[in-house]
Amino acid sequence: MTQTIPVTILSGSLGAGKTTLLNHLLRNAGDRNIAVLVNDMGDLNVDAELVSANSDLSVGDGVAELSNGCICCELQDDLETAVTRLARNRDFDVLVVESSGISEPEPVARLFTTGSRAAALYEVDSLVTVLDSRLFYDTFGGTGVAERRGTDGDDSRPLSDLLVEQVEFANVVLLNKADLVSETEMGTVEEMVRALAPDAEILRTTESAVDANDLFSRELYDPATAAEMAGWQQALDADDHDDGSDSHVHGDDHAHDHRHPDEVYGVSSFTYRRRRPFHPERFAAFLSDLPSNVVRSKGTCWVAGRESPIVVGQAGSSVRAEAAGQWIATLSELDQELYRSNHSDMEWHDEWGDRRTAFVVIGTDLDEEATTVTLDDCLLTDEEMESDWEAFANPFPRQGEELVVTEP
């Protein structure tokens, strides 16, 4: 391969619409052949499964996944290995890296601009941040000021600080969920984004719908000036100018001082896995009253009385559930055997087949034990397991339908 491959790096808060954007681009890429790397901080990479389900690619082919960490920190080596393997094993025109919702963009971009194996194969084309306009306005709109906090020696910073980080370093900012804010509120969001990223292109989007030409082949990223354009760099320089020392924000020392987002922003996650179905009413009640510190939850859930896996996606106060496909265990024995013969790595239970719940919970200061107990209380009891599941009042959708559990 004689030419370097352009890389578009997607950043954005949890639930902002990065995966929706990625699937939109895969469906509307024209004659571009796109390879994708999806990162998720949980050990269950739901995004990679959803991307593969909505494209002609599959995990291990043109969709690579990195789980249980963030690529701006401890998965750097894994990221380099994954993108190098992609370049050697598959012919494609563009690489899109969708980082986890708590990944900082600058360390990810740096991998492709240093003397690494990846840097020899790729060149960063642009950094794209998907912004939840509603969340951003609610976080900063009350004061009209979006500024970095906690840079005066404090070891912890609020999660809202990450929103600023991802905007400040962007070449393109998509103001997504534009339909959820008023024109006045959107004007305020645009002003704040412009103050944080004066050189970035700003586009309004609904459901992450954007022309692929606005994101690809832009050549907007310049590693020589990236540090100067980022507001976070200016803030750090301002903190350091009194003693004239900037060694900890330049060169190799920057990588050493970089702290993992779990520590800095107080974000953690866990994956809830069970081989027993949820009682539909109790589980719906749980989803409609999630603790405020649960920032994002998503996964495939087994709900009694439904033949389809229920894919639940929650971001802030928005919770939606969709019936996606069909449990393989509900098919005829012949179809089950045929499917399993082509998917040898499928987890299969002797009694329940592929039915199971794998649900990721991401939040700040999570009480994993208490949340797990609450979820366990939503499962069918032994007595209910023996009853007629179809007799339960069931708000969850059937195949091809969607349920809005709560919305802003």
Q: pLDDT for 90-126, tens place per residue?
A: 778 888 888 765 566 777 787 787 767 777 888 999 9
Helix H or strand E encompassing 174: strand 172-176
Phi, psi of 194 (to 5 degrees): -65, -35
CA distance 71 to 324: 29
Residue range 8-21: mean pLDDT, rounded: 87
Name the class of domain 5-265: alpha beta
- Share of residues in the chain with pLDDT > 70 (%): 71
**Within the chain, which residue ranges are assigned CATH 3.40.50.300?**
5-265
pLDDT at 181 over 90: yes
Instruction: Report pLDDT for 158.
Output: 52
Q: Residue 250 — φ and ψ, nearest 5°?
A: -130, 155
Is 359's pLDDT higher than 80? Answer: yes
pLDDT of residue 141: 59
Is 13 in a helix, a strand, or coil? Answer: coil
Q: Which of 13, 22, 7 lies closest to 208 in space, CA to CA?
A: 22
Do 255 and 280 contact (CB within 8 A), yes or no?
no
- Is residue 180 within 8 A of residue 408, CB to CB? The reply is yes
The predicted-structure confidence for 314-336, as pLDDT tens digits, reads as follows 876 778 899 988 999 999 999 99
- Two tokens at 380? 């069918």
Q: Give pLDDT, residue 213.
A: 93
pLDDT at site 198? 79
DSSP states of 36-77: EEEE-SSSS-HHHHHHHHTSS--BTTTEEEE-SS-TTTTTHH
Q: What is the pLDDT of residues 42-89, one digit of tens each?
A: 443 444 454 444 444 333 444 444 343 343 333 445 677 777 887 777
| Window from 54-58, 172-176, 178-182 with minimum mean pLDDT | 54-58
- The answer as to CATH 3.30.1220.10 being correct for domain 267-406 is yes
Among 156, 145, 26, smallest CA distance to 94 is for 26
